[in-house]
């Protein structure tokens, strides 16, 4: 895994937004406002996060720093320990439940076999909100934190209306996002969140994976789920498990989305797993007779 850190941006993206890219692992974002700097996500290790802060020092100047944890997936928040306890770290209230789950410590114990994760400790956010939105008023820019569950229960996206820019993090993903579980409720939540981001009609939809800020990706993700639903519905009354289904012509990943030829094998295997999770959820929704995409998302 390439973990070289670099600062980058997209053509035309407002200069107050800076993307920090760690190879293919994750992109995190710094937003500079008149009143404060906001770092959206803290990378996968405290060491990487400290490196990021060094690279950003000049941009941040003397303004105070606020941190947002978009969700409690390791690649987005394991850098939290890089911050002094006085730094506000904001997340959705559901993030705290995820951290309390023994699975959080279990994953850390497993990943500590890799040298670069040995200094990681799980640091919880210290400001949480429980509703659908929260706003940070930076003066020139407003950051609206929007609860967008479905990929994970605690996921938040960030909307900056003044510059029509959405930091979608993992709700929108190229080539496909991944649903939290096979429970149709999580699938419905993800579809609702994708629509919510699409309906912002942003000029930029910045992703955390896939290295793009393309507004067409949310629509493409919705189409993928609509096709998946239609193909599974077309199979009729099936008694097939998800492993067999994933290999069936017409519902394989490459039948539904264009997978780049040069995608590394490891990345491809990752998205195959995401596809199987999505397939399991769509299959469960089909069997339960749950309609999860309204027809407006076909277009
Ligand atoms: Zn992620």
- Per-residue pLDDT for the chain (299 aa), expressed as one digit of tens each? 778 999 999 999 999 999 999 988 999 999 999 999 999 999 999 999 999 999 999 999 999 999 999 999 999 999 999 999 999 999 999 999 999 999 999 999 999 999 999 999 999 999 999 999 999 999 999 999 999 999 999 999 999 999 999 999 999 999 999 999 999 999 999 999 999 999 999 999 999 998 889 899 999 999 999 999 998 888 776 677 776 777 777 788 888 888 888 888 988 999 999 999 999 999 999 989 898 776 554 44
**CATH number of this structure's domain 1-131, picked from the four choices 3.40.50.300, 3.60.15.10, 1.10.10.10, 3.30.470.10:** 3.60.15.10
Rg (CA), the chain: 19
Question: How far is ligand 1, taken at its centre, from the CA of residue 35, in Å?
Answer: 28
Angle at the Cα of 194 (from 192 to 198), degrees rounded to 5? 115
Angle at the Cα of 93 (from 75 to 120), degrees rounded to 5? 30
SS3 state of residue 110: helix
Question: How far is ligand 1, taken at its centre, from the CA of residue 236, in Å?
Answer: 34
217 within 8 A of 174, measured Cβ to Cβ: yes
In 10 A of CB 142, how many CB atoms?
15
Question: How far is ligand 1, taken at its centre, from the CA of residue 208, in Å?
Answer: 6
154 within 8 A of 146, measured Cβ to Cβ: no
163 within 8 A of 144, measured Cβ to Cβ: no
Question: How far is ligand 1, taken at its centre, from the CA of residue 81, in Å?
Answer: 18
């Amino acid at each position: 895994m390439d973990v070289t850190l670099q600062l980058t941006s997209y053509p035309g993206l407002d200069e107050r937004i800076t993307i920090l890219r760690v190879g293919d692992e994750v992109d995190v974002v710094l937003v500079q406002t008149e009143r404060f700097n906001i770092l959206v996500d803290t990378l996968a290790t405290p060491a990487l996060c400290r490196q990021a802060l060094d690279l950003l020092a000049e941009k941040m100047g003397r303004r105070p720093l606020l941190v947002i944890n978009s969700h409690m997936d390791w690649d987005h928040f394991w850098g939290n320990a890089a911050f002094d306890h006085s730094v506000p770290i904001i997340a959705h209230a559901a993030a705290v439940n995820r951290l309390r789950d023994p699975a959080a410590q279990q994953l850390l114990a497993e990943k500590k076999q890799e040298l670069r994760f040995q200094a990681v400790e799980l640091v919880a956010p210290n400001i949480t909100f429980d509703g659908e939105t929260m706003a940070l008023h930076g003066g020139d820019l407003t950051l609206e934190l929007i609860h967008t569950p479905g990929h994970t229960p605690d996921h938040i996206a960030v909307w900056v209306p003044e510059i029509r820019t959405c930091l979608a993090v993992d709700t929108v993903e190229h080539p496909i996002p991944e649903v939290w579980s096979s429970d149709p409720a999580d699938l419905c939540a993800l579809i609702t969140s994708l629509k919510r981001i699409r309906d912002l009609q942003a000029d930029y939809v910045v992703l955390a994976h896939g290295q793009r800020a393309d507004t067409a990706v949310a629509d493409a993700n919705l189409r993928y789920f609509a096709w998946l639903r239609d193909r599974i519905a077309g199979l009729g009354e099936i008694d097939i498990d998800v492993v067999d289904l994933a290999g069936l012509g017409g519902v394989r990943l490459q039948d539904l989305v264009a997978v780049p030829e040069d995608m590394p094998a490891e990345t491809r295997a990752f998205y195959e797993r995401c596809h199987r999770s999505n397939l399991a959820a769509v299959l469960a929704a089909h069997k339960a007779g749950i309609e999860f995409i309204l027809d407006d998302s076909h277009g």
